[in-house]
């Protein structure tokens, strides 16, 4: 097996695959990358048995073959090399790999390709195409709200829905919720709603670049085809919570404010919040927003006042500063609209202005204010 490839091209695809490889595994073979050369096309595969990613790359090949190469050493080697041509000469009998550049030679030992887990055949029941840019937005605006609680496996992924002319992604950890919808010109439909592991969606967001991505679902997996690449992930076979029922519809106290100003203020004020609760208090008055925090244990406190558009009754409500900052950071808007009801009901945060093709709703649960 022999081929020549640009180090920068190989480094680019290895960077996209590295996130799939488990840091620790009881199966050492999963810490390798499967290289398969057919003519002048090199396909590189990474899997953790839940997520599998395959990326194809044009190379100059002379001897076809397959081998599994240790991922960490290869990735580190490619990162350290300048832009140059690298020739891989591989003895698939002894599994010896030699990498030759104009200035050096590097040798390592691989594993037989037959030891690498086979990618199961995929039989999708429905599929549709979506713009890669829209897919990245759906993931970016929801992935931060995914739960890490293993006792609630359904919430450890992003709910993916498609029907008619709408694609929707939802994530929640019980403290905050993000629902993002994207309207398409071409009908989009999945046979069922699916929950995709957060790891798979995160890898996909970094991998898709331009053009369109074709999405299809089987009974147990979801597949994304894009840029001469494929990512297949097992879906989380659980029932997702009825998220629509927790989104309040009667929050009539509306405040519009500059997103960047609020984010910066929260970051400063929260330095004086309790290290346990991270609580910041929002006080809405006539065209003003007052943010404050107090650390009773250590005697620190901070207060800032910002302008906003608000003409409702006064309201005091508390939030976890980390959760509130996360929501605002993942809203791509210069101004945001906050919708409140009472100090004990969830707040809604949306972009003040948004494209007709998009709809974003963020929900955050309040915390009890310090006495």
DSSP secondary structure of 42-100:
EEEEEE-SSEEEEEEEE-EEEE-EEEEEEHHHHHHHHHHS-S-EEEEEEETTTTEEEEE
Lowest mean pLDDT among 189-203, 256-270, 319-333: 189-203
> Domain span at residue 283?
247-364
- Beta pairing partners, 128: 215
What is the rounded distance in angstroms from the CA atom of residue 222 to the CA atom of residue 215? 7
CB 364, CB 346: distance < 8 Å: yes
In a domain, 223, yes or no: yes
Q: Is the confidence at residue 125, as pLDDT, over 80?
A: no
Give the pTM. Answer: 0.90
Same domain, 238 and 254: no
Same domain, 295 and 265: yes
Q: Is the confidence at residue 371, as pLDDT, over 60?
A: no
Q: How many domains does the chain have?
A: 3
In a domain, 371, yes or no: no
Same domain, 220 and 294: no
Domain boundary among 244, 261, 277: 244
Residue 26: CB partners within 8 Å, gap ≥ 6? Answer: none
| CATH code (residue 41) | 3.10.150.10
CB 240, CB 247: distance < 8 Å: no
Same domain, 171 and 206: yes
pLDDT band at 184 (very low <50, low <70, confident <90, very high): confident
In a domain, 121, yes or no: no
Percent of the chain at pLDDT exceeding 70: 99
| Radius of gyration, CA atoms only, the chain | 25
Residue 265's pLDDT is 97
Q: Is the confidence at residue 185, as pLDDT, over 80?
A: no
CB atoms within 10 A of CB 76: 12
Domain boundary among 229, 244, 259: 244
């Amino acid at each position: 097996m022999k081929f020549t490839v640009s180090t920068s091209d190989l480094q680019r695809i290895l960077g996209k695959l590295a996130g799939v490889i488990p840091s620790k595994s009881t199966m050492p073979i999963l810490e390798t990358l499967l290289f398969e050369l057919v003519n002048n096309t090199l396909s590189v595969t990474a899997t953790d048995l839940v997520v599998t990613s395959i990326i194809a790359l044009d190379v100059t090949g002379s001897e076809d073959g397959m081998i599994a190469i240790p991922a960490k050493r290869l990735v580190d080697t490619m990162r350290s090399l300048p832009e140059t041509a690298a020739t891989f000469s591989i003895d698939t009998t002894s599994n010896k790999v030699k990498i030759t550049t104009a200035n050096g030679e590097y040798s390592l030992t691989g594993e037989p390709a037959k030891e690498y887990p086979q990618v199961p055949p995929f039989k999708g029941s429905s599929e549709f195409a979506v713009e890669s840019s829209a897919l990245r937005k759906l993931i970016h605006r929801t992935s931060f709200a995914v739960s890490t609680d293993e006792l609630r496996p359904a919430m450890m992924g992003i709910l993916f829905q498609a029907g008619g002319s709408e694609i929707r992604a939802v994530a929640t950890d019980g403290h905050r919720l993000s629902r993002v919808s994207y309207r398409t010109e071409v009908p989009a439909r999945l046979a069922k709603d699916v929950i995709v592991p957060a790891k798979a969606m995160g890898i996909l967001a970094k991998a898709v670049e331009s053009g369109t991505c074709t999405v299809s679902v089987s009974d147990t997996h979801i597949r994304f085809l894009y840029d001469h690449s494929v990512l297949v992930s097992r879906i989380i076979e659980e029932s997702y919570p009825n998220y629509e029922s927790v989104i309040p519809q009667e929050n009539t106290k509306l405040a519009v404010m500059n997103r960047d100003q609020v984010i910066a203020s929260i970051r400063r004020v929260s330095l004086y919040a309790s290290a346990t609760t991270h609580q910041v208090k929002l006080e809405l008055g006539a065209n003003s927003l007052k943010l404050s925090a107090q650390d009773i244990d250590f005697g620190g406190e901070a207060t800032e006042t910002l302008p906003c558009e608000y003409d409702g009754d006064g309201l005091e409500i508390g939030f976890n500063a980390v959760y509130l900052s996360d929501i605002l950071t993942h809203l791509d808007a210069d101004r945001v609209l906050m919708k409140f009801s009472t100090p004990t009901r969830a707040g809604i945060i949306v972009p003040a202005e948004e494209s007709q093709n998009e709809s974003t709703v963020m929900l955050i649960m309040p915390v009890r204010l310090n006495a």
